Amino acid sequence: MADVTLIVDGKQITAPAGTLLIEACKSAGIEIPAFCYYPGLSLQAACRMCVVRIEKQPKLATACTTTIAEGMVVQTETPEIAQARKATLQLLLGNHPLDCPVCDAGGECELQDMTFKYGAAESFYAEPKNHREEQKWSPVVYFDRPRCILCYRCVRMCGEGMDVFALGIQNRGSSAVIAPNVPAQLSPDDLAHVDCEQCGMCIDACPVGALTSGTYRYKTRPWEMNHVATVCTHCGDGCKTTLGVRSTSDGSEIVRGDNRDKSGINNDFLCNKGRYAFDFANHEDRITQPLVRQANGELKPVSWEIALDHVGKKLRELRDTRGGKSIGVIGGNRLTNEEAYLLQKFARTVLHTNNIDHHRTADYVAFAQSLAGHGERTASLHDTLKAPAVLIVGGDPTVQSPATAWNLRTNVRLNRAKLYIANAAEIKLRRQAKAFLQLAPFGYNALAAYLAGDEAAALSATSDTAALSSFRDAVKAEENLLILIGSELRGAELKKLIDFGLTIPGAKFALLSDYVNSRGAADMGLLPDMLPGYTPVGATSPMATEYAGPNALGLDMLEMFDSADRGNLSALYVVGANPVARYSIDPATLKNTFVVVQEMFLTETAALADVVLPAANLYEKAGSVTNSYGDLQQVSKAGDRAGVRTDFEMIVRVADKIGANMQSLVPFGKGLRADMGQTRGVQSGEADRHAVWLTANNMEPRLSPFDSFAILDEIQRLVPGYNILRLQLLSGNDQHLSPAATPLVQISNRRDLVVPANDTLFTSGTLGRYSTMLCDLQQNEILRASNLTQIQTAAD
C-alpha cells in the first residue's frame, strides 16, 4: 500500500496507508502505552491509555483505533495526555491490591511500568477495595481477580488467537469480571475452571499479574533468574522458549518457561509444553550417577570412570572380535544436530557399523528424495503465517504442532488465507478451513494416488467423490500453495503427493514430525542407508571420502532388534531414545546383547541396559536443532544438574576409551589463534560478541574435544544443504535449510519404521511422563471428562 506521511511529536514519520497510529509510532520509535491493545487481536479501545492529541479533533483520540492519514499532526506526550493517563492509572490502582512485593508479575508488569512513568502515587479513596479470592482455573492457570485491570487481552487471545473461547466476561460495570467457561455451578467442586488447551497464552498476554502460571507462581522474582532463550524440546515446530534459571545447591534449576521477548520463530505463540513442561529436568526419578549391571543382575551406581572404562572396553572387544556389523546404534530425536552427527560418525568411523537408526516420526528420507533438486520448494515455519493458501493432508497441527496451528489460524484471520484440509479425522483446524475433505480411514494413500492422476483411487480415498474432485480442482487452482503433510504419508505415497504438488506453481512443502530434532536426526544421518544430508551409503561424495566407514548398508531399527533376537547383535548403543517402548520390543530380545543407554530416566529401554549413563537433556546443553520445516536454531544451556553429562561429552569419552583418534572424531585444536581471553565454557552456548565475530569468520579456535562447534564446522563443511549462516545462528535467529538429497535411489517400503508419537496436547513421548505438569494436566483432563459425564448423567 502507498505510504502516508504524518507528523508525530514534531517528527515526520512515514508508514503504509492503513497502519494504525500506535503501530506507526512504534515503528518510528515512539512508544504509546496501552494495556488493551495487542497486535493482531481485535481492537478493544478499552484502557484509554493510548490517548493522543490529534490536531483538529475535539477530544483526545485513541492511537490504537486511529488509522493514520496524510498530513495528520499528532502529539503523544503533552501534559494533557500525561494527566489523562495518570488519571486512568489512579482509577485502576484504586481497586488494585498493590501486592507488587509478592506478585509474580512484579518487575514485569505493565501497570507498574506505567505507574512508574506517570506517577499516580497519591491515593484518595477511603472505601475498601473490591476483593475476590484467587481462583485456580486449572493446574496451570490461576486467576487473581483484584489484580485484573479488565483489558480483555486474555479473552481475545483465547478466542481469536487460540480459537478456544474459554474465557469471557461476566457482570457489568465495576463488577465485570473475566470468567472461565466452566462456571462454579457446573463444577462438582463448586469452583470455576477452564476447559481449554492450557496453552497459557492468556497468562502471556496478561499485562499484570491477574493470570499467573501454576508452575511459576510465588516461586521467585523475575530479577532473580537468568533468562536463557533456547528451543523447546517437545514438538517438531521448535519454538523459542525462554527459560528462567536460578542457582541451586546442585546446579541450576529451571523455574519458568515463557515467551519472554517474542523474538523467536514462534512469534507471539508458545503452548503449554513450551511454557510448563520443562519440569522433567527436576523429576525425582532423574538418574544422576552412572549405573552398571552387576553379576546379580542389579544396576548399581558406579563412578563415571568405571562406567566409561567398562563401556569402552566392552565395545572395543565386541567390535574387534565380532565386527562392527554386530553392533547397533540408536539415536534420539531430541539430540542436537551436533550430537546426532557425532553419534553416527562415531558409529561409522569408530564402531565401523552402519547399523544406525532413530525413532522416525515421519518419513524424511522419502521427503528429501522426492524434493531432490527442488530445494527452494521446502517451506519454513514462517510460511505458515504468510502463504495465501495452505493444504494440509493428514496430521493434526492443533495437537501435534501447536505453533503451526497458531500461525495458520492467524494467517486465516488476518490475511484471509485459504485453508484446505484433507483428513480422516475432523481436526479442529477444520473450523478455519475453506474446504474440508473427509477422508476414509487410512484413505491417505488413495488420496495421493488420486491426486497423482489415478481416478480409480477416488472411492478408496473418500465416500464423497464429488467433494474430492472439487477439492482437487480448488487446490490445483491455487498459487504459492503451502502443502503441510502429516506423518500418515510415507514412502511412495508421500512422493506421489509431492509430485502432485510440484505441478502447482510456487507450491512449497513441509513434512510434520513429532520432536524438536526429528528432522535433524534424519538430516544428520542417523540412518542405516544414508550418511548425513541423505547421501547414500556407498556412493561417492566428499563426505564418503572423509569417512572411513563400512560400505555395506546397515540394519534399520527393526532389523537390529530382529538381529538381536537371533543372537547376532552383540551390542546396542542407545542415545536418548526408548525404542523398546516405541517399537514394542520384547525385553527378552536383548538378553544376549550388551546394551548401553544414555538416558535421563530408567525408561523401558534403560531398564534393560547393562550400563546406563545419566544424560543431560536439551535444556542443559548447547548446540543446534532443525525443526520439521528445516529451520535451524540454536539451543542454549539453561539448566544444570550435578552428575549428568551431555550426550556429546559421553560419546566423545566412550570413543576415547575405545581408543579412537580424537582429532579425527572431533576436529578440535585446529584453531590458529588464541581466543584473546574469551575462553568459553564447553557448553556455555553463550555467544559473546567477540566470539560471534570470530565464529562468523570461521576463526574461532576449537580448544577442546568437547566443543560442539568443532562438529558444527564439520556439518557446515560436509552436510549437503547445511549452508549455515553462523551469525544468524549464534545471534539466536532461525534460518531455513533445504535438504539437498541426491535424486531418488529407491524409496523404502518399510512403512513400519515410521512410528508417529501421536502425542496429545498433554503428552510428549517418554519424556513427557516425567513432566509433573503434563501429568497434572492429563489428570485434569480425565477429571474434567468424568465431571462432564456426571453432569450429563444428572441432566438426563
Partner 1 sequence: MPTLVSHPDEVKIVSRRFGQGAADIEKYIELDGYKAVQLAISQGAEMSNWIINTMKASGLRGRGGAGFPTGMKWSFVPKVSEKPKYVLVNGDESEPGTCKDHVIFLHDPHSVIEGTMIAGLAIGSKLGFIYLRGEYRYLLKQVEKAVADAYAKGFLGKNIFGSGIDFDIITQTGAGAYEVGEESALMESLEGKRGVPRIKPPFPAVVGLYGGPTVINNAETIANAPHILLMGGEAYAKLGTERNGGTRLFGISGHVERPGVYELPMGYSLRKAIYEVAGGIKDGKKLKAVVPGGSSCPVLTADEIDVGLDFDQMGKAGTMLGSGGIVVLDETVSIVEFAMRVISFYQHESCGWCIPCREGTDWIKKTLTRVYNGGGSKKDVDNVQYLAENMMGRTFCPLGDAAAMPTLGFVKKFRKEFEDYIEGHKAGTPLITVEQLVGAGH
Chain residues in the site for partner 1 (CB under 8 A): 43-48, 51, 58-60, 65, 83-84, 87-88, 90-92, 94-95, 124-127, 149-150, 169, 171-176
- Residue 796 in grid coordinates: 438426563
Residue length, the chain?
Answer: 796
According to DSSP, residue 614 is labeled E
- How many whole angstroms separate alpha carbon 311 and alpha carbon 594? 9
> Which of residues 153 and 314 has its CB atom nearest to partner 1 in the complex?
153
Closest separation between CB of residue 51 and partner 1, Å?
A: 7
Report residue 441: phi and psi, to 5°. Answer: -55, 135
- How many whole angstroms separate alpha carbon 390 and alpha carbon 396? 14
> Which of residues 29 and 58 has its CB atom nearest to partner 1 in the complex?
58
> Which of residues 63 and 485 has its CB atom nearest to partner 1 in the complex?
63
φ/ψ region of 198 (left if φ > 0, alpha if ψ in -120 to 50, else beta) reads left
Closest separation between CB of residue 153 and partner 1, Å?
A: 14
- How many whole angstroms separate alpha carbon 664 and alpha carbon 261? 40
Using the CB atoms, write b or e for 119-131: b if 16+ within 10 Å.
ebeeeeeeeeeee
Using the CB atoms, write b or e for 709-728: b if 16+ within 10 Å.
bbbbbbbbebbbbbebebee
Closest separation between CB of residue 59 and partner 1, Å?
A: 4
> Which of residues 175 and 746 has its CB atom nearest to partner 1 in the complex?
175
Q: What is the dihedral of CA 169, 171, 175, 178, to 10 degrees?
A: -20
> Which of residues 144 and 396 has its CB atom nearest to partner 1 in the complex?
144
Closest separation between CB of residue 369 and partner 1, Å?
A: 49
Closest separation between CB of residue 417 and partner 1, Å?
A: 21
> Which of residues 45 and 696 has its CB atom nearest to partner 1 in the complex?
45
Report residue 534: phi and psi, to 5°. Answer: 55, 35
Helices then strands, each counted (H, E), the chain: 27, 31
Q: Radius of gyration (Cα) for the chain, nearest Å?
A: 28
> Which of residues 19 and 704 has its CB atom nearest to partner 1 in the complex?
19
> Which of residues 150 and 245 has its CB atom nearest to partner 1 in the complex?
150
> Which of residues 48 and 117 has its CB atom nearest to partner 1 in the complex?
48
Closest separation between CB of residue 177 and partner 1, Å?
A: 9
Closest separation between CB of residue 581 and partner 1, Å?
A: 49
Q: How far are the Cα atoms of 4, 84, 110, 566 from residue 63, in angstroms, in the given order?
A: 16, 14, 18, 73
Does residue 520 sit in helix, strand or coil? helix
Burial class (CB in 10 A: 0-12, 13-18, 19+), 473: exposed
Q: Are strands 211-213 and 226-231 parallel, antiparallel or unpaired?
A: unpaired
Closest separation between CB of residue 261 and partner 1, Å?
A: 27
Max distance between CA atoms of the chain, in angstroms, equals 91
φ/ψ region of 505 (left if φ > 0, alpha if ψ in -120 to 50, else beta) reads beta
Closest separation between CB of residue 173 and partner 1, Å?
A: 4
Closest separation between CB of residue 174 and partner 1, Å?
A: 4
> Which of residues 175 and 540 has its CB atom nearest to partner 1 in the complex?
175
> Which of residues 83 and 247 has its CB atom nearest to partner 1 in the complex?
83
Closest separation between CB of residue 34 and partner 1, Å?
A: 12
**Segment (H or E) for 197:** none
